[in-house]
Structure 1
């Protein structure tokens, strides 16, 4: 851009960082983030989330976590996208549960529990945050519901059919949930009349 006398702005930086994620260029994404202040552009939550996503997509979870920590240190407030990006990056690491609980405390997904906890709604989740939500729900909410119920309650997970997936979501949440439940030995099936309900 400078060669063409164009001045980069936040939008052009964010678009470039997002393109780095799609191209697997996490190091270039970090370089662009580092160049923003010198260009007079303050990195926003969107910029940080794009950098976290680029690192996460390249399995550089430590770098993604470092960016997330810098985001917090700089006074930026993580939003739903920031949390889903960092949870995607770290979902297989032990520390992911602490980050997930932090997101819960900040009410990142206010409508996640429906039917007094009998339904887990994963519409606003990415693959990583959905896996953590399911594990949390199975460990804490389902046993609590079963202990208080006079009859055997039924439970469901709303994954959505994938048709309204947000642009940043690249994972098939329903398929990921089905694999997780199978690995846990939990019998489940997709609802015959609603493909977005397990």
Structure 2
């Protein structure tokens, strides 16, 4: 099923998952997680969500990989935010703020990381617009475990740029973001006139 997911063959992944009981093999969390990721990344987010909920119905507990898989498959959809909050309440995603102006998402997959950073930025930019904000993405050690290569770094970088932040890429493993200078000047009265 994982090979089907990596090869973009979500239909075959689903066929294998459904064939397992007939072969006297109970689908486990790993097979469900792979099928969820395959269907979600294959664009069939409704089926991915159905498989995610089916896990509970068959007595399997969703773990971090389950939440990463479902959120990666539909993180641009509104329900991804609710899934992220549900996972956070369950302790699936740890507290990621070692300091107020730093968020560490290096162990997250791309979908949950983008959601976490977006929520954090909405709080931080209103409180401390002048303070540079650091997003720790890591150097790639954990990314390979999720099969995302540099998607995490790129996804966060794209989010920061879409929000109009100035991004400093000088530090390996993290991004430094701040509001553009024009944002500070906009509220300041002009001199001499």
TM bin (shorter chain)? 0.7 to 0.9
Q: Secondary structure at the match of 1:124?
A: coil
Q: Secondary structure at the match of 2:146?
A: coil
- 1:165 is matched with 143
User: Post-superposition shift, 1:111?
Assistant: 4.2
- 1:134 is matched with 117
CA distance in 1, matches of 2:142, 2:15: 33
5 Å matches for 1:13-162?
A: 17-115=1-99, 117-140=100-123, 142=124, 146=127, 153-162=131-140
Q: Give the ranges of 4+ consecutive aligned residues of structure 1 lying more than 4 Å apart after TM superposition.
A: none
TM-score (norm 2): 0.82
CA distance in 2, matches of 1:75, 1:138: 37
1:109·1:124 contact (CA, 8 Å) conserved in 2? no
1:162·1:172 contact (CA, 8 Å) conserved in 2? no
Q: Secondary structure at the match of 2:145?
A: coil
CA distance in 1, matches of 2:59, 2:43: 26
In structure 1, list runs of 5 or more residues that go unmatched.
1-16
In structure 2, list runs of 5 or more residues that go unmatched.
176-193
CA distance in 1, matches of 2:95, 2:88: 11
Structure 1 residues 163 and 176: CA distance shift in structure 2, 3 A: same
**Matching of residue 196 in structure 1 with residue 180 in structure 2:** no
TM-score (norm 1): 0.80
Q: Secondary structure at the match of 1:102?
A: helix
CA distance in 1, matches of 2:97, 2:59: 29
User: Post-superposition shift, 1:67?
Assistant: 0.5
